[in-house]
Amino acid sequence: MKKKILITGGAGFIGSHVVRRFVKNYPEYLVVNADKLTYAGNLENITDIESSVNYRFEKIDIVNKQAVLDLFEKYNFDGVIHLAAESHVDRSITGPDEFVFTNIIGTVNLLNAARLHWKDNPEGKLFYHISTDEVYGSLGKEGFFTEETSYDPRSPYSASKASSDHLVRAWHHTFGLPVVISNCSNNYGPNQFPEKLIPLAINNIKNSKPIPVYGKGENIRDWLFVEDHAIAIDMIFHRGKVGDTYNIGGNNEWKNIDLIRLLCSIMDKKLNREPGTSEELITYVKDRPGHDMRYAIDSSKLQNELGWSPIPEFSAGLEKTVDWYLSNTRWLERILSGEYEKYYDMMYSGR
Ligand code: NAD
Ligand code: DAU
């Protein structure tokens, strides 16, 4: 194998799309997916590639320093794409500690292991840290986040991601670790855990349950199809400038309530319901504490320097996503019942 690549968090939503892309497009790479399999990690996201010769799965907790060192010792990686994280803002409000452990300490453990293994020969190595636009805080009506925007995280989740970004840059400047960072806007698409807005709403509409809209539904997010994010990650990993940061976004801002209305109309069509039926499920609920008002990314650096651009038009991407959830009912049911958590034992016990 030409290169050994560690992808952390590859059983999660975005990680599973990145793992699939790398396993399929780079048969000359050995792709090692290291994941703790928290509630958000689901190996059933990647059953199609699990028996590929250039793929390995390692169940590890990145908070465990020794386990991370042992993993580097075992594989001697050439590159790291670090996605593993606690990722849900609402959970960071009810239980912030896990976010500090995984997102900050876990990242430091990976940085230290990479530094130790690459210090004598950093040439051609790369530590790629996947981050979020939430580190920049909240925008007013105007403007966009650029790579130069000052950090202003406001939730335990975004503060933990901001800390990890700072640490990654510190390891670059102080220890010369070859790093690159990208900060992306809200992703949507197949395999997203049904606690996030779009899959939660799809599932509730399907089951004629209330769709919880926080506050007045006026908060704005910039939505990007997950495979477009995976393509950007591929480009940045291979052609990004060491030490640089790239913003990734859909140039696709939606007020939550308008997005939910669009989703309702798509679902009415798909489920052969009278137009307007699903909208009746919209229920305004108590706002998220510290709810950021607006995120919007300026991704012109990535577009101009690496030639990236987002592909599907939003309603087409949303329809594709709805179709995926409606035709993968087993995937969803196994998550809702907790059955998916037994998959690892079934597939990997005794290996
Ligand atoms: P996710 O919650 O779906 O998946 C996270 C994965 O990390 C899971 O497989 C989980 O098991 C694993 N993990 C968690 N803690 C771990 C630990 N201690 N050790 C090893 N593995 C662990 O997350 P996602 O939405 O796919 O996000 C992936 C990354 O992208 C995160 O770093 C997130 O901050 C970032 N990001 C997400 C979005 C988005 O819209 N979802 C946007 C921008 C950036
Ligand atoms: O911007 C990138 C970030 O996007 C990522 O870093 C995070 O990992 C990811 O979870 C996402 O964060 P958000 O908080 O924006 O996503 P979420 O799907 O939780 O919420 C989207 C918007 O919808 C937000 O304004 C809150 C609102 N919302 C969410 C849920 C779950 C509701 O109104 N009702 C809901 O039930």
Query: How many angstroms is it from 55 CA to the middle of ligand 2?
Result: 31
Look at residue 214 in the predicted model and tell me its pLDDT. 97
Rounded Cα gap, residues 264 and 260, in angstroms: 6
Exposure string for 317-336, b = 16+ CB within 10 A, e = fewer: bbbebbebbeeeeebbebbe
Residue nearest to atom 1 of ligand 1 (CA): 12
Q: Nearest residue CA, atom 4 of ligand 1? A: 12
Question: 207-224 pLDDT, tens per residue?
Answer: 999 999 999 999 999 999
Instruction: Provide φ and ψ at 145, rounded to 5°.
Output: -80, 130
- Find the residues whose C-beta lies inside 6 A of ligand 1: 8-9, 11-15, 35-38, 40-41, 61-63, 83-87, 102, 106, 130, 132, 161, 184, 186-187, 193
- Find all residues with CB under 8 Å of 303, minimum gap 6, and list them: 309
Which residues, 6 or more positions from 190, have their beta carbon under 8 angstroms from its beta carbon?
226, 321, 324, 325, 328
Task: Average the pLDDT over 72-92 and give the result.
Answer: 98
Domain positions in the chain are 3-189+223-252+295-312
- Tell me what pLDDT residue 342 has: 83
Q: Which long-range contacts (CB under 8 A, 24 or more apart) does 327-330 make?
A: 328/190
Residues 6+ apart with CB under 8 A from 238: none
pLDDT per position as a tens digit, 302-314: 999 999 999 879 9
What percentage of residues in the chain have a pLDDT greater than 90? 94
Q: Which amino acid is at 269?
A: K
Phi/psi at 259 (5° precision): -65, -45
Confidence of residue 1 (pLDDT cuts 50, 70, 90): confident
Per the CB < 8 A criterion, the answer to whether 251 and 317 are in contact is no
Tell me which CATH code domain 3-189+223-252+295-312 carries. Answer: 3.40.50.720
- Work out the pLDDT band at 343, boundaries 50, 70, 90: confident
Closest CA to 115 of 163, 54, 168, 194: 168
Min mean pLDDT across 40-44, 276-280, 342-346 is at 342-346
> Is the confidence at residue 349, as pLDDT, over 80?
no
Instruction: State the pLDDT confidence band at 350, using cuts at 50, 70 and 90.
Output: low
Q: Is the pLDDT of residue 159 over 90?
A: yes
Cα-based torsion angle of the residue sequence 265, 249, 255, 289 in order, rounded to the nearest 10 degrees: 120
Q: For 171-200, what is each residue's pLDDT tens digit? A: 999 999 999 999 999 999 999 999 999 999
Q: What is the pLDDT of residues 274-299, one digit of tens each?
A: 999 999 999 999 999 999 999 999 99
Question: Per-residue confidence at 339, pLDDT binned at 50, 70, 90?
Answer: confident
Q: What is the mean pLDDT of residues 264-269?
A: 98
Ligand 2 pocket by Cβ (under 6 Å): 87-89, 132-134, 185-186, 196-197, 200, 212-214, 219, 221, 256, 288, 295
Ligand closest to Cα of 247 equals 1
d(CA 28, CA 192): 29
Q: Which two tokens stand for residue 184?
A: 């992306």
Indicate the pairing of strand 211-214 with strand 126-132.
Answer: unpaired
pTM over cut 0.85: yes
pLDDT at 289: 96
**Probe ligand 1: pick from 7, 8, 14, max atoms within 8 Å of CB?**
14
Query: Span 250-273, mean pLDDT?
Result: 97
Close Cβ partners of 217 (under 8 Å, ≥ 6 residues apart): 255, 256, 257, 260, 282, 284
Whether the per-residue pLDDT at 351 is higher than 70: the answer is no
Per DSSP, the three-state class of 320 is helix
